Amino acid sequence: MSSLLWRLRRKLLGETWTIPLGIAAALVLALVFRALLSSGEWQTMGGFGLAAVLITTLIRSLPLERRRTTLIRSLPLERRRTPDETAAAHVQQHDPPQGVTRCTSGNGG
């Protein structure tokens, strides 16, 4: 019975909450904008605004951004630097602290 209910929920609401929540958000936004805009403006643009929110919902439900995070995490450690670390590394490479000899091409002569 619980298996049937679980499958029923997945059939009706889908596998992710992003889509039902996105549809609910689209409806709420539509009601808000319909109240704010003039009747003519809403009638002309309302449908396209709704379509835009739904397209955003679809894109958010896909693993596009999560994929990027996964990719960054799967990179080798030396490539996983924060912007500050990158800047510090850049400074160190080009302006080494006193007493530190930068290794350059040639014999340093």
Partner 1 sequence: MTFVLTLMAAAGASGVELLEALAIVLGVGVTRGHRNALLGALAGGLSVLALCVVLGPALRAGASVAVIRVIVGSLLLLFGLEWLRKGVLRVAGRRGRASSYHEFVEARESSAALPNASGRPDWAARAIAFQGVFLEGLEVGLIVLALGATPGHLVPALLGAAVALLLIAAAGLALRRPLQRLPETQIKLGMGIALTAFGTYFTALGLDAHWPLAELAPLYLGALFALTARLAIRRLERDRPVAEAT
Nearer to partner 1, 62 or 89 (CB): 62
Distances (CA, A) of 103 to 79, 82, 107: 21, 25, 9
Distances (CA, A) of 37 to 28, 29, 107: 14, 12, 73
Q: Is 28 in the site for partner 1 (CB under 8 A)?
A: no
Nearer to partner 1, 35 or 103 (CB): 35
Q: Are 80 and 87 in contact (CB under 8 A)?
A: no
Q: Is 20 in the site for partner 1 (CB under 8 A)?
A: yes
Distance, CA of 54 to CA of 20 (rounded, Å): 11
- Considering only residues 77 to 106 of the shown chain, the ones binding partner 1 according to CB under 8 A are none
Q: Is 34 in the site for partner 1 (CB under 8 A)?
A: yes
> Of 28, 62, 87, 91, which lies in the binding site for partner 1, with binding defined by CB under 8 A?
62
Nearest to 16 by CA among 73, 46, 60: 60
Q: Which residues bind partner 1 (CB under 8 A)?
A: 4, 7-8, 11-16, 19-20, 22-23, 26-27, 30-31, 34, 42-47, 50-51, 54-55, 57-59, 61-64, 67-68, 70-71, 74-75
